[in-house]
Structure 1
Amino acid sequence: MRKPLIFLVLIAIAVVATVLVADPDPDRLRALRDGVADWQAAHPVALPAGFFALYVAVTALSLPLAVWLTLLGAALLGFWKGLVLISFASSLGALLAFLVARYLMRDWVRGRLGPRLSKIERGVARDGEFFLFSLRLIPVVPFFVINLAFGLTRMKAWRYYLVSQVGMLPGTAVYVAAGAQLGTLDSLSGIVSPGVLGAFAALAVFPWIARAALRFWARKRAYRGLERPVKFDRNLIVIGAGAAGLVASYVAAQARAKVTLVQDGPMGGDCLNFGCVPSKALIASARAAGAARGSQALGVKAEVSVDWPRVTKRISEVIAQIEPNDSVERYEGLGVEVIEGHARLEDPWTVRVGDQRLTARGIVLATGAAPVIPPIEGIGSVEPLTSDTLWDALAALPAPPARMVILGGGPIGCEIAQALVRLGAGVTLIEAAERLLIREDVEASDAIAAALRADGVDLRLGAKAIRFGRDDGKWLELEDGTKIGFDMLLVAVGRKARLEGFGLEELGIPTGRVIETNDYLETLMPNIYAAGDAAGPRQLTNAAGHQGWIAAANALAAPFWRFKAHGAPIPHAVFTSPELARVGMTAAEAEAEGVAHEVTTYPLGDLDRALAEGAGEGLVRVVTAKGSDKILGVTVLGAHAAEVLAEFVLAMRHGLGLGKILATPHVYPSWSEAAKNAAGRWRQAHVNPRTLRIAERFMTRRRG
């Protein structure tokens, strides 16, 4: 039904435009306008009623013609009559679309809107009618999407109508004013008259004014009943000394702001002390052992023995080498005041640390995350380890653990399992899902599973632990009745944001899995920001660092300037052998979100450098927009995957397509050529056969 109607309207617009362009005579324009006015005078009800009905229908059917109808209606009816009719017609049409979505098309709307719907549902849960009002005032989401999505929320229909009526009125008035000015034109040269130029200037300026008004209203609403200090001790207080907190503090210090960093734990946070650094040090030793065992394929025979005490000692040495970069001394040298202790918010501008009461214009919550221990029967009795406690336990052993169980097949579980097995441990990895690394590309996930099994990991997929216990030794029972004995248990099923004990509940700052923030990392209190694992959505050190500088910059520059946090592509990697690195969407995610896409796969077995090093297993898989070289996501599986991925991340960040990568000279032979060759595969698939035939005929003629 929509396509024929759109087609007819476009034909009508084209006919009118052709007439006006072909003969832009002022008398003709006046005659056309006067003819409409005479018809309206003879039929005073028909034109407004017909226009009202048409506008309601267009809005209810979610046709993208509302702006043009608004301008046309205002030109024909004038400002006041046009404003009344269009305002009520748009709100009534929006209500009809709302009701249709709610009662007749719920499944269709949910399938079509996907992630957009989830975002709107979260906004309604957080801000209620104010969220709808903000969307109506500043249409960052198309109106037809708002109408359909809100039909699936719990908002009452009468509230939806009233908020829509009020929220759309200012924007409608600006458009009606522009249309009314167009209706007064006697000639095309009148388009540059002060009235018309002023109307269209108002269209351009209105979103800025509306945004400023909304922000002012939101701040007033958030701080209702709270007294803001007249003066502040500091520009910024940062709570948490992990990646996000350290970057935020660094940014503030470089801006010559007075900044205080409150840390309740070791400087450097989880990454330095329990995560990235110690795990990669362990993996380095494991890769050396794996390379030595596999060197016979390259014509080198080697006997491998593992000095376990030296392996664990080196982990501590690596941490100690990196530690000065994150130390109290370094940050104090940069101008950051560092205070040890637990921070608690007393109000949006005040932080209590022990006996000290600190005030600041802006606050950044970078409280991090902690490992989750699942509520499985008896798990406490077997002394489970987490990534926080694993390293001391390993260092206390004279040799690699002979019987270790790892619960969880995510990045941590896969990395540690493979590393320990390569160093001589006995490891059973249990994952409840049907495959490892469930969010990654299926082929890449299966390749990691095969690699772990080849190294000696006892991999149990689709296995759920239901009970732990100990008698003569520690054991766990799986859902199928299998019992597995072990000496050491590592739980790696995920991490939970640290949200309790910071005063968030008392201030009414919403928290779920993470602290709720907007695109600028602002919490419900606009001067309080959250970054890193506490803010999500990805628990990655590089994501935390990126958010840390965004939060600090926004806190220091408010209200004059602010940056969005979600524009940059954030890559991640699993440092198994082979490595798995990814940025952006997988093909499965693009499919689930209804994004039109294409997939290009380049096998590393075709890369000369990979063959020379005996490392041809793996692939580069690029997801691009349908019919375009725009990169939506990339998965790299193989040696040096994290380094190969970097070129794609750079391209995505700066809007460069595969064509630009293909046109860039690369070192030969190198691993970076994998990116160029993948781009070449995409190009080959998009060569027009007709162009090739023409080229062939042209070359044949040139030969004579």
Structure 2
Amino acid sequence: MNRVETDLCIIGGGSGGLSLAAGAVQMGARVVLIEGHKMGGDCLNYGCVPSKALLAAGKAAQAMRQARFGVTGAEPGIDFAAAKDHVRDVIATIEPHDSVERFTGLGVQVIEAYGQFISPTELQAGDTVVTARRFVIATGSSPLVPPIPGVEDVTVHTNETIFDLRARPDHLLIIGGGPIGLEMAQAHRRLGSKVTVIEGDRALGKDDPELATIVLDKLRGEGIEIHEGQMAAQIGKAGQGVFVQTKDGTRFEGSHLLMAVGRKPNIDRLNLDAAGVETTRAGVKVGADLRSTNKRIYAIGDVAGGLQFTHVAGYHAGVVIRPILLGLPAKARTDHIPWVTYTDPELAQIGLTEAQARDAHGDKLTVARFDYAGNDRAIATGKTAGLIKVMVVGGRPVGASIVGAQAGELIGIWALAIANRLKMSAIANMVAPYPTLGEVNKRAAGAYFSPKLFDNPWVKRMVRFVQSVLP
């Protein structure tokens, strides 16, 4: 048995673990990285990267169908296998950045094996035992397949297998109307599949209902069936395909089934009891400092039981590196974390939704709105379906919701504002180039100030007075 002593041992080579490893080793720490599966984790191999690549293929197909701007539309010829080749090519292009070779070159000792704790200070990976001053669990999460009766009798795809399909599904059934389910619904529909989404509650239930409706109407308009309030109760084979029956007896039949109902933390292999690390259903039990019940062990990203986004894992890496390497206190926050559903139109959120802000702040809340239809770039490009809401308390934004073209890009300025506690005046003072969709943000800020400026009788009296005395 080999033995290694190090300053920092990171379990998991996904986005959070890799960010932490790269930063720590370049700051002078001895770092061991444990990864038993694929470097890059879920994001590179099964999540963010392949899904956005497949959505891009679907968007290209949809653009050909649309007769607009004097250009005649036509039904595109779709090579589904070639679309999947595009997905593979995108992953392959990014892979070297996350590779064992790159991190070994940086000075990280990479052990390609699954790890498990054998004591509060030791972890075994393959034939190596690692003793470290600090450990960071960054093992991420996996798709959840709930024990619906009959699920074991059919082939159930998740985001870990759906991208391997080379033949186009004739009729894809999707259980789950969240971001993953709806992104895959639109991508497959645009690439020629019939798609039915079955959601037990409300589709896009974590987002502002007004904005979510704009997305859902667009998807339904493209031919996607979305059934809300339909809880799956039975799954089984239907000829060469599969059926899903809901609690009210409604039966849906298709050729393939995708499960997109949530995720579970990857903690089963870790033997956390041996390390004295407590867990919950959501993952490793951590405090605001992301430290577990064993003071030597931290958890970041999905496995820490909070928001499950790649950028959160990267943010967590920046939080824990301060106490681990420099002994400085640091705590994670969530109010400045944005998220995006990459459907067309995109749906982006940061901070509080309107409903949440009203519950939290009552009459102190002001909601500033602006429609894409008032933006000249949106008009010129035919992207007028969309709007922005900014929730403002005491002159500062506490949340922003955007639906429309490039909403994921536009939300960035509100992430900057909320992270740094900027006031709405900072956005209003910005000069946006014309014509850009970025003006939507400035116009929303203007909508906040307009009533204070134009509907204020004192302002009008002051202007009249000044005009009367000017030479």
Q: 1:302 and 2:69 equivalent?
A: no
Look up the match of 1:659: 425
Match 2:90 to one of 290, 312, 318: 318
Q: State how far apart, in whole Å, the 2-side matches of 1:254 and 1:536 are.
A: 28
Letter of the 1:406 counterpart = I
Alpha-carbon distance, 1:567 to partner: 6.2
Letter of the 2:41 counterpart = G
- Give the alignment's Cα RMSD to 1 decimal: 1.6
Alpha-carbon distance, 1:375 to partner: 1.3
Look up the match of 1:697: 464
Alpha-carbon distance, 1:410 to partner: 0.5
Q: Deviations over 1:105-155 (max 9, x none)?
A: xxxxxxxxxxxxxxxxxxxxxxxxxxxxxxxxxxxxxxxxxxxxxxxxxxx
Letter of the 2:85 counterpart = K
Look up the match of 1:292: 64
Match 1:477 to one of 228, 242, 245: 245
Q: 1:554 and 2:323 equivalent?
A: yes
Q: Is the 8 A contact 2:389 2:402 kept in 1?
A: yes
Match 1:681 to one of 443, 447, 453: 447
Q: State how far apart, in whole Å, the 2-side matches of 1:262 and 1:571 are.
A: 29
Alpha-carbon distance, 1:309 to partner: 1.9
Listed as ranges, the gaps of 5+ residues in structure 1 are 1-230
Match 1:441 to one of 187, 193, 208: 208
Letter of the 2:295 counterpart = P
Q: Is the 8 A contact 1:252 1:553 kept in 2?
A: no
Q: Deviations over 1:24-67 (max 9, x none)?
A: xxxxxxxxxxxxxxxxxxxxxxxxxxxxxxxxxxxxxxxxxxxx
Q: State how far apart, in whole Å, the 1-side matches of 2:230 and 2:452 are.
A: 44
Look up the match of 1:468: 235
Q: Is the 8 A contact 2:301 2:314 kept in 1?
A: yes
Q: 1:250 and 2:17 equivalent?
A: no
Q: 1:540 and 2:309 equivalent?
A: yes
Letter of the 2:148 counterpart = I
Look up the match of 2:195: 427
Q: State how far apart, in whole Å, the 2-side matches of 1:672 and 1:623 are.
A: 18
Letter of the 2:69 counterpart = L
Structure with more relative contact order (C-alpha pairs < 8 Å, separation 6 or more): 2
Matches within 5 A, 1:452-531: 452-473=219-240, 474-512=242-280, 513-531=282-300
Look up the match of 2:383: 615
Alpha-carbon distance, 1:358 to partner: 1.0
Q: Deviations over 1:153-211 (max 9, x none)?
A: xxxxxxxxxxxxxxxxxxxxxxxxxxxxxxxxxxxxxxxxxxxxxxxxxxxxxxxxxxx
Normalising by structure 2, report the TM-score: 0.95
Alpha-carbon distance, 1:333 to partner: 0.7
Q: 1:451 and 2:223 equivalent?
A: no
Look up the match of 1:639: 405
Look up the match of 2:153: 381
Q: State how far apart, in whole Å, the 1-side matches of 2:73 and 2:82 are.
A: 19
Look up the match of 2:100: 328
Match 2:349 to one of 579, 582, 587: 582
Alpha-carbon distance, 1:297 to partner: 2.5
Alpha-carbon distance, 1:501 to partner: 2.4
Q: State how far apart, in whole Å, the 2-side matches of 1:368 and 1:479 are.
A: 32
Matches within 5 A, 1:339-358: 339-358=111-130
Match 1:671 to one of 431, 437, 451: 437
Q: State how far apart, in whole Å, the 2-side matches of 1:581 and 1:471 are.
A: 38
Q: 1:259 and 2:26 equivalent?
A: no
Letter of the 1:638 counterpart = G
Normalising by structure 1, report the TM-score: 0.64
Letter of the 1:414 counterpart = L
SS of residue matched to 2:279 = coil
Matched length: 464
Alpha-carbon distance, 1:310 to partner: 1.3
Look up the match of 1:143: none
More strand by share: 2
Q: State how far apart, in whole Å, the 1-side matches of 2:418 and 2:238 are.
A: 55
Listed as ranges, the gaps of 5+ residues in structure 2 are none
Q: Deviations over 1:642-677 (max 9, x none)?
A: 111111111111121111111111101111111101
Q: Deviations over 1:258-314 (max 9, x none)?
A: 1000001100000000000100000001111122222x2221113222122211111
SS of residue matched to 1:591 = helix
Q: State how far apart, in whole Å, the 2-side matches of 1:668 and 1:442 are.
A: 31
Q: State how far apart, in whole Å, the 1-side matches of 2:345 and 2:269 are.
A: 41
